[in-house]
Structure 1
Amino acid sequence: MANREALRELHARLAARLQAARSEGVAAASWLAVEAGGGKYLMPLAQSGEIFPWSGVLPVPYTQPWFMGVANLRGTLAAVVDFPGLMGHRVARTEMSLGDASLLAFNAALEVNAALLVDRLLGLRGPQNFAGMQDAPADAPAYWGATYFDEAGEPWQEIHLQNLSQDPVFLSIRA
């Protein structure tokens, strides 16, 4: 129970920092950093919406395995996509692991009622947090941005949520 309370506090702190970064125009923070399926990803703050703790979803039959279902997020019905599954990484989900997961909603300006299930929130990042970068390969999906490398040499993949929301694979949930 204490773990859930700590997770709620983390969500509240991150939401406050996201709002402050947006309203103050802080150049230092460009992305929301998340971990999903063992990979590290950077979601642009301008395209990211509210963060919600896992609260369960209503499954939808005859859909892709990565489409988890729909959830009520503050009165809005949102499609919930298992982000690692969409990226081709199978992750065994248990109620315990889902208890630590979060739903990252798309920014309302993108006009997509969807949220990505991510395993862990890692805070805010900016270009100053990385030692190098590499442009996306020519054959990468349109929603892939540059790959950034931290001081330890670990890769962080930038994901453009606006492009993801228009990707044919993302839009084709039917199995």
Structure 2
Amino acid sequence: MFGRSQYPHYLRNEAGKRPTSAAELADGRWLATWPESLAIVSADGAREEYDWAEFEYGRWDEETSELSLALTRRGRGEPIVLVLADGSDPSVVTMVHERIERSIVHQLVWDLPSGRVARGQVRRRRNEELFTEILSVPAHTEADRASLAQLEVELREAVGLPLKKNS
């Protein structure tokens, strides 16, 4: 439909760069990607922009042309579901997948004393800074909290991040 040089002008990011990849969505908005971020952009210029590290995962359904993006932050609700317009280049999905995966540097699955399971990750921000993130339901026992603190230590040690003062 559109080549990279023919993307609508309003897709340029704050630095004025054209997207690396983009696809028109069924609702008329656009999904645009850059090495450091993803944006959902309307023709009027309204945009939702996300760092890759904000996504827990992306799922592509080729049959329905739906891309579901789950955010890691609690309280963000259901995944963002984007439907590519007919004729859109689905290669943008590859970029989304690769960039989310690149933001995950290291991860561990951790059994908690309560029987719950936590997943900890070391992630990469757009400026290449590393940070840790623990994805689990809130700990219900003191033993779970202590175990989650140990998970944080293990994650930091695995990639050479300094330990937090209270760890």
Bin of the TM-score, shorter chain as denominator length? under 0.3
Task: State the structure with bigger RCO (CA 8 A, min sep 6), 1 or 2.
Answer: 1
TM-score, reference length from structure 1: 0.26
The structure richer in helix per residue is 1
